[in-house]
Amino acid sequence: MKAVRFHHYGGVEVLKYEDAPEPRVNPGEVLVKVKACALNHLDIWLRQGLTGWSLSMPHIVGSDIAGEVAEPTSPATGFRPADRVLLAPGISCGRCAACFHGLDSACRAYTLFGVMVDGGYAEYVAAPAANVIPIPGDLSFEEAAAVPLVFLTAWHMLMTRAQLKPGEDVLVIGAGSGVGSAAIQLAKMLACRVIAVAGADWKLEKARALGADEVIHRRRQSIADEVRRLTGKRGVDVVFEHVGAAVWEACFESLATYGRLVTCGTTSGEEVKLNLRMLYGRQRTLLGSFMGGKGELLDVLKWVGQRKVKAVIDSVFPLAEAAAAQKKMEEGDFFGKILLRP
């Protein structure tokens, strides 16, 4: 089969479109013919060797996958050839206490497609049957592939970790990213007031089109000052954050008393300062979040299948042009998901 692999860590030039062996399908696994695979920042960090995980080489990344069940797939898996499916990105053992509690990402064996197992930058991928989910509603393969990682992440952050309540004020950092565009829509489903932050006017317009009530241009405006103005000096109930050092202080300052800050990423750096007096005095909560459980993915897919929320698609590249797609992501010149089509 054709796949995009890298044989050593490096820049986009290490991505090679080449022949690779078809995946071995173990008992209990489903072979999926990949029709669409969405990019995530994780793909870039893996390629650069920045994750601390030691990857098998040559390596195939890609965690967000949709496609058709292919042969050989045993009927015992419950799937038949040509079934339209998407893959839950997180793989866990399925039989430890964390897994049984639905806390998949706390499983000791937890990994993602494209990390310790081959991912979706390829024509075929083998998946444990527990990860294979029928595509809900009439979603296209591209729409289906654009959903799992960002909507699962945003759902786990807002609903499970931050316990978002109807009508609360929510500050969404990085509104132009996949996870930001998912967060805006999920918060609006709970009739929250969303203040979206991005670094370009065209991104702020798109954020408004997705339902953001207020927008802040992070290059032209002070996030904390604008939040203070928009909330009558109160601050927001929830800050949805995944950028890290560059916005940390502004995010923390923007929290109301009893506000919760939930974070899932550090694209701009991971070391920050924290004023403990403002933490306890204002009774604020800091929450870390990482992926989520398959049950949560099924919850959010119900909304996606009814088109109450949608994955925002920026662009679709042929698989052979994976390097150009990743370059676009590195340059930040996108809104929503960038996809590959094998």
Closest CA to 61 of 142, 152, 125: 125
Min dist CB 23 to Zn ion, Å, is: 22
Task: Tell me, residue by residue from 194 to 223, as one string, x for binding to Zn ion by CB under 5 A and - for no binding.
Answer: ------------------------------
Q: Which is nearer to Zn ion, 130 or 272 (CB)?
A: 130
Binding of Zn ion by 14 (CB under 5 A): no
* Whole-number Å distance between alpha carbons of 101 and 123: 34
Binder to Zn ion among 99, 112, 139, 147 (CB under 5 A)? Answer: 99
Q: Which stretch binds Zn ion (CB under 5 A): 10-18, 87-95, 125-133, 287-295?
A: 87-95
Q: Which is nearer to Zn ion, 99 or 187 (CB)?
A: 99
* Whole-number Å distance between alpha carbons of 194 and 198: 13
Structure tokens at 55: 């990857």
Q: Which stretch binds Zn ion (CB under 5 A): 27-35, 88-96, 139-147, 227-235?
A: 88-96
Please write down the HEC assignment for all residues of 13-71: HHCEEEECCCCCCCCCEEEEEEEEEECCHHHHHHHHCCCCCCCCCCECCCCEEEEEEEC
Closest CA to 327 of 338, 318, 336: 338
Which residue sits closest to Zn ion, CB atoms considered?
107
Min dist CB 28 to Zn ion, Å, is: 15
Binder to Zn ion among 50, 57, 93, 298 (CB under 5 A)? Answer: 93
Sequence-separated (6 or more) residues with CB below 8 Å from residue 138: none
Binding of Zn ion by 181 (CB under 5 A): no
Element (H, E) at 277: helix 276-281
Binding of Zn ion by 103 (CB under 5 A): no
Q: Which is nearer to Zn ion, 95 or 273 (CB)?
A: 95
Amino acid at 337: K
Binder to Zn ion among 73, 92, 105, 185 (CB under 5 A)? Answer: 92
Q: Which stretch binds Zn ion (CB under 5 A): 72-80, 93-101, 237-245, 254-262?
A: 93-101
* Whole-number Å distance between alpha carbons of 171 and 150: 17
Structure tokens at 329: 């992501």
Binding of Zn ion by 107 (CB under 5 A): yes
Subset of 117-146 contacting Zn ion (CB under 5 A): none
- Report how far Cα 301 is from the mean position of its chain's Cα atoms: 14
Binder to Zn ion among 96, 129, 246, 272 (CB under 5 A)? Answer: 96
Min dist CB 29 to Zn ion, Å, is: 17
Min dist CB 90 to Zn ion, Å, is: 10
* Whole-number Å distance between alpha carbons of 243 and 124: 33
Sequence-separated (6 or more) residues with CB below 8 Å from residue 48: 9, 10, 11
> How many residues in the shown chain lie near Zn ion by CB under 5 A?
5
Q: Which stretch binds Zn ion (CB under 5 A): 43-51, 89-97, 114-122, 288-296?
A: 89-97
Q: Which residues bind Zn ion (CB under 5 A)?
A: 92-93, 96, 99, 107
